[in-house]
Amino acid sequence: MNMMGWRTLKGAIGIFTAFGFLFLIGPLFVIVPLSFNAEPYFTFRPEMLMLEPEAFSLRWYETLFNDEEWHRALFNSFFIGICATILATTLGTLAAISLNHSNFPARRTVMALLISPMVTPIVIVGVSVFFFYSLPFIGLSQTYLGIILSHAMLGAPFVVITVTATLAGFNQTLMHAASSLGANAWTRFRRVQLPLISPGVITGGLFAFATSFDEVVVVLFMGGLEQRTLPRQMWSGIREEINPTILAVATLLIIFAVLVLFTVEWLRARTAKQLQHQ
Amino acid sequence: MGAFKASWLALPLVGFIIVTLLVPIFSLIRLSVYDSTVADALPKTAETLQAWQGTEIPSITTFEILGEELTTARETRELGRIASRVNRVLSGSRSLISKTARRLAREDAPDVRSAFIAIDEDWGQLEIWHALQQATKTFSSRNFLQAIDLGLMPDGSIEQMPETQRVYVTLFIRTLGVSIAVTLLCFLIGYPMAYAMAHAGPGWARVLLVLVLIPFWTSLLVRTTSWIVILQQQGVLNDIFVFLGLVGDDNRLTMVHNMTGTLVAMTQVLLPFMILPLYSVMTNIPRDLTKAASSLGANPYQAFVRVYLPNSLPGVAAGGLLVFILSIGYYITPALVGGSKGQLISNLIAYHLQTSLNWGLAAALSVILLAGVILLYIVYDRFIGIDRMKLG
């Protein structure tokens, strides 16, 4: 193949790649304008394409803000998400600190165990916790506690991974210095180690929260009407009566995702800077 | 802080994961082979039938015990569950048992055996007794056999299910096929994207990374919804096709609620999991390598296939494993956009869990799926090494 041929091929791959990005991000941009549709349709009507103001409205957002069920779903999502995050972050951070010690016994096996929730197919997790928590002597099916425990379990591996990564750049001599200045273990942890690894802890926490916030299989299998979360409510919305309220929720969730993304990236940049200083 | 003290800090999470994941998985495995419903509800019948040879109709004592226990079960409202369990062994048993328990007290006959046979002469046949004997056994391979389209007959022999009832093997194969297809599609689409990100200038690289991360952080339900909006018959894509004159307004394409919907939506949803590990590996491939290859006379194709691609393989392997594992247990997307033709094994697990209430079968299907995943990890670890996996 000559120079021209290679260039054509490169151009073709370039166009294919551009379509890849369009394929990945495009669907999200389709949802946003449709959520302002004045009519109960899922399609762009000619009036919308002409940008006529009457074609747009906030009616679906109004419906959303006045709906009891969506209120409860929003509350449930945040309540379950925050509880699961606190649990996952606390346990995950402690475990990561402990794993960071070089003489940790059977490190590989323990790490594999701690990561296992992340690599078990979600349907198997859902089925297992459903059966186990339905056992008469456990009785956690259709309870907040059951869902919180499951979500904390699903989120903990992310905390372990992010905190372990931050600890890799943590200078252990700082702890020895604090120790020589008379600080006890708790003070050393709280005043020296925690502030330095906090970006990793917060990133892990955000991952754990996002995991819970987006999780629907466990909620679907194990949760009752009481415990319906946002994605669970969307699930019913899509299956039962599909109307643009779903698109309004989706738009708000996209905005939420963008906020989480920028927070995580900002924290990552901060950690990188800190590592450079050291 | 001593090392001993420090390792204690991992214990709470280790214990937590054991209690909230491993123990439930063990209870799942147990449920797939163990069921004591009938044995618990009809304890004496169970005991008597275990000693029964199975060659002739049981003695009158057995009839008496069964009659007594069925009457008790009817009073304690256990009867429905028993009947449906026996019905799984021998279809038709449900109505037979319910009918018998209901009529037994009123039946006017010289002895219990004649009463049973007067209610239904099936009680004078061996088949129902074999079925009862099997249902009273607590351990059974029935669920696993059913999960691979084999039937455990009342007399203990194993037969292939009639063709119309063979669904599970097909579904396992379909799930495997879809997972492979989605993994390949993610690789084909994601590889050049990751390459573009790794080799763009710093400004563009950041923009492209954000374009990948926004969908990554966006709720799965949102992304699945957007595919319904795009692919449905009155949807955006069909509108564009009609506008461009590619298809007529009256024969719009059916792209959702079938296999196309499942494949397209799953590929888009899982694409970031392929791109991110690839990107992380590609940023660490020295730029000089391909240049060196070209200076040694390799054409762009050779430089790519012989030098760049092998160096990016850890990323391909990590992304591939991640996408494959995620897609093999996928439930939400196929359930919402798959219709009946695009359903995967996980949808059937959910069906037996929530609708048919055949929990043993749901458990057996899950255990087979889990075994497949574990096998995959072992193979992966042997050939590539879990340690070498990079997750970005």
Residue B82 lies in a domain: yes
Report pLDDT digits (tens) over B250-273: 888 888 888 999 999 999 999 999
B243 lies in some domain: yes
CA-based nearest residue to B384, from B312, B284, B317: B317
What is the per-residue pLDDT for B1?
A: 46
Q: Give domain status of residue B334, yes or no.
A: yes
Task: Clarify whether residues B198 and B327 are in a common domain.
Answer: yes
Classified as helix, coil or strand, B236 is helix
**For chain B, how many structural domains are there in total?**
3
Q: Is the pLDDT of residue A118 over 60?
A: yes
Shared-domain flag, residues B373 and B228: yes
**Ranges A65-74, A172-181, B43-52, B316-325: which has the least confidence:** A172-181
Q: Is residue B204 less than 8 Å (CB to CB) from chain A?
A: no
Contacts from B381-387 at CB under 8 Å and sequence distance 24+?
A: B384/B314, B384/B317, B386/A112
Packing angle between helix B126-135 and helix B93-103, nearest 10 degrees?
100
Confidence (pLDDT) at B347: 92
Domain final position from B138, B156, B188: B138
Mean pLDDT (whole number) for B88-110: 86
A266 touches chain B (CB under 8 A): no
B385 pLDDT band, cuts 50/70/90, is: low
Whether residue B143 is contained in a domain is answered as no
Is residue B181 located within the same domain as residue B129?
no
Encoded tokens for B37: 């419903």
Residues B180, B121 within the same domain: no
For residue B392, name the pLDDT band (cuts at 50, 70, 90).
Answer: very low
Helix (H) or strand (E) holding B88, with range, is helix B79-89
Contact B372, B328 (CB under 8 A): yes
**For the segment A53-101, what is each residue's pLDDT rounded down to a tens digit?**
777 888 888 888 888 889 999 999 999 999 999 999 999 999 998 888 7
The nearest CA of chain A is from the CA of B98 a distance in Å of 26
DSSP symbol at A192: I
Q: What is the mean pLDDT of chain A?
A: 87
Distance in angstroms (rounded) separating the CA atoms of residues B8 and A91:
12
Nearest alpha-carbon partner for B108 in B122, B98, B118, B123? B118
Question: What residues in A contact B212, CB-CB < 8 Å?
Answer: 24
User: Do B381 and B273 sit in the same domain of this protein?
Assistant: yes
Q: Residue B389: pLDDT above 60?
A: no
CA distance B271 to B265: 10
Q: Which two tokens stand for residue B223?
A: 């992304």
pTM score: 0.89
What is the number of other CB atoms lying within 10 angstroms of the CB of residue B317?
A: 19
In this structure, are B41 and B18 located in the same domain?
no
Residue A143 has pLDDT above 60, yes or no: yes
| Secondary structure class of B213 (helix, strand, coil) | helix
Answer yes or no: is B144 within a domain.
no
B110: exposed, middle or buried (C-beta count within 10 Å: 0-12, 13-18, 19+)? exposed
Residue B267 lies in a domain: yes
- Pick the more confident residue, A79 or B134: A79
pLDDT of residue B390: 43
Looking at residue B192, which CATH number applies to its domain? 1.10.3720.10
Residues of chain B neighbouring A114 (CB-CB closer than 8 A): 10, 13-14, 17
A-B contacts at Cβ under 8 angstroms: 256
CB contact burial B347-375 (16+ within 10 A = b; e otherwise): bbbbbbbeeeebbbbbbbbbbbbbebbee
- Domain around B27: 1-34
Do B269 and B133 lie in a common domain? no
- How many angstroms separate the CA atoms of A247 and A236, rounded? 13
Q: Is residue B183 domain-shared with residue B245, that is, in the same domain?
A: yes
B211 → closest Cβ in A1, A24, A122: A24
List the domains of chain A with CATH numbers. Answer: 3-55 (no CATH), 69-242 (1.10.3720.10)
Mutate to test the interface with A, among B219, B356, B375 (most CBs of A within 10 A): B219
Residue B54 has which token pair? 């199975």
First to last CA, chain B: 32
Terminus-to-terminus CA distance in chain A, angstroms?
Answer: 51
* B70 in the same domain as B44: yes
Across chain B, the runs of DSSP E, i.e. the strands, are 150-152, 158-160
Mean pLDDT for all residues in chain B: 88
Question: Is B2 part of a structural domain of the chain?
Answer: yes
Domain boundary among B118, B138, B158: B138
Q: Nearest CA to B54 among B154, B121, B158, B137? A: B154
Whether residues B227 and B242 share a domain: the answer is yes
C-beta atoms of B326 and A121 within 8 A: yes
Q: Same structural domain for residues B379 and B236?
A: yes
In-domain check, residue B297 = yes
Q: Look up residue B160 and give its DSSP letter.
A: E
pLDDT at A1: 64
Q: Cα distance from B285 to chain A (closest Cα, Å)?
A: 20
Q: Are residues B320 and B347 in the same domain?
A: yes
Phi, psi angle pair for A56, to nearest 5°: -110, 150
